[in-house]
Amino acid sequence: MKVIIAIDSFKGSISSIEGSNAISSGIKEVYKEAEIIAFPLADGGEGTVDALVQSTNGQLMKVNVTGPLNSKVDAIYGILGDGKTAVIEVAAACGLPLVPQNERNPFLTTTFGVGEIILDAIGKGCREFVIGLGGSATNDAGVGMLQALGFRFMDQFGNEVGLGGGVLQDISKIDTQNANSILADCTFKLACDVTNYLHGTDGAAYVFGPQKGATKDDVKALDHGLKHFAEIVCQELGKDIHTIKGAGAAGGLGAAFFGFLDAELQSGIELVLSILDMERFMPETDFVITGEGKLDSQTTMGKVPIGIARLAKQYQIPVIAVAGSIAEDAAQLNELGVTSYFSIMNTPMTIEEAMNPETTYSNLRVTTAQLFRLIKSLER
């Protein structure tokens, strides 16, 4: 019996690493000699660093950087087992949780710390970067990150602009001469499933600004700044950073990576699976187990279970999905490669009880053991 475990975290409850251990324990209760290969996964969002570091025997790094409010914060990023690839979640340096509710203001928040993380990784020998976009508290189109990397942005009087989304409308000239020279040797891959353009009603400010503290009037002003910045970039560098899908991700950080660092956008889970070279483990696998906290229609939009299911389907491997909650619209997963799915809930309980890490661990283990008891009975 060969089983691949490839689950996402059960957000707010248990990590993908702990969940994988629970499932593995359940299988071993029934198939003591089973070959189990566990890949804790993430789709480019929260948990991507931990998942990739764990799966590649890499290491976590801590660096003190400029946070979204221009004060210092400790940020964690990872260097993968190859020693040359850094994996960074931008939220570690400019995430919404780093800003108290009453201080959220995308006119002021900055991505400067993201650039500082990149510089730290370059200093440690990294030349390949996997960037998880999402969860930012910013709307500065990545200008802060670029400033940290040595790019200079001047107003009409030749003065360098400050930090935050509010400065975009003041930018009149871009100076790239002092940008870190090693950036030319670096490659950037963006793990992101957001396809928004930079500005407009489907852009960074209108779609994501309100959750970052922007009022209706703020959104209009921020959007004007994004549009102005895109025009300046086109004028100064000859690059269109607006109409690239994903440019509006993380408050416009996507646009900065595209326009200034020649980044490549990929589906988060597809990029993660590619880095881990998951396909080479599929031959002779009997079952794949995947899952996340909730299975629903959103799962089909680039989440871990659907990415794994599509890969396993190519090899005609049965896929079992487990989750704490399963919505009615999850039925479409069966058409996309998930053989069957199961809730791990075994008795009525409150949400608080259900999300208790010990409860989730136990429920994952017990549900898995029962499923594999059924599988074993069919072998007779």
Average pLDDT over residues 5-13: 91
pLDDT band at 2 (very low <50, low <70, confident <90, very high): very high
Average pLDDT, the chain: 94
164-196: per-residue pLDDT in tens?
Answer: 999 999 999 999 999 999 999 999 999 887 789
Distance between start and end Cα atoms, the chain: 15
pLDDT band at 12 (very low <50, low <70, confident <90, very high): confident
Average pLDDT over residues 116-141: 96
Average pLDDT over residues 298-326: 92
| Contact predicate 330/303, CB 8 Å | no
Q: Does the structure show a pLDDT above 80 at 380? A: no
| Contact predicate 146/241, CB 8 Å | no
**Burial class of residue 216 (count of CB atoms within 10 Å of its CB; 0-12, 13-18, 19+):** exposed
- CA–CA dist 120, 61 (Å, integer): 9
pLDDT band at 232 (very low <50, low <70, confident <90, very high): very high
Q: Does the structure show a pLDDT above 80 at 302? A: no
pLDDT of residue 207: 92
Which residues have a Cβ under 8 Å from the Cβ of 136 and sit 6 or more positions away?
Answer: 68, 90, 91, 94, 95, 96, 111, 212, 250, 251, 253
Q: Does the structure show a pLDDT above 90 at 258? A: yes
329-378: per-residue pLDDT in tens?
Answer: 899 999 999 999 999 998 998 989 999 999 999 999 999 999 999 999 99
pLDDT of residue 268: 86
The percent of residues in the chain predicted with pLDDT above 90, rounded, is 83
Write the DSSP assignment of 365-376 as a string of letters. HHHHHHHHHHHH
Average pLDDT over residues 211-220: 95
Average pLDDT over residues 231-250: 94
22-62: per-residue pLDDT in tens?
Answer: 999 999 999 999 999 999 888 887 888 988 998 899 999 99
pLDDT band at 303 (very low <50, low <70, confident <90, very high): confident
79: β partners:
59, 86
| Full set of structural domains in the chain with CATH | 2-40+282-377 (3.40.50.10350), 48-268 (3.90.1510.10)
Strands 287-295 and 72-79: unpaired
CA distances from 219 to 116, 165, 183, 205 (A): 28, 11, 32, 5
- CA–CA dist 35, 23 (Å, integer): 13
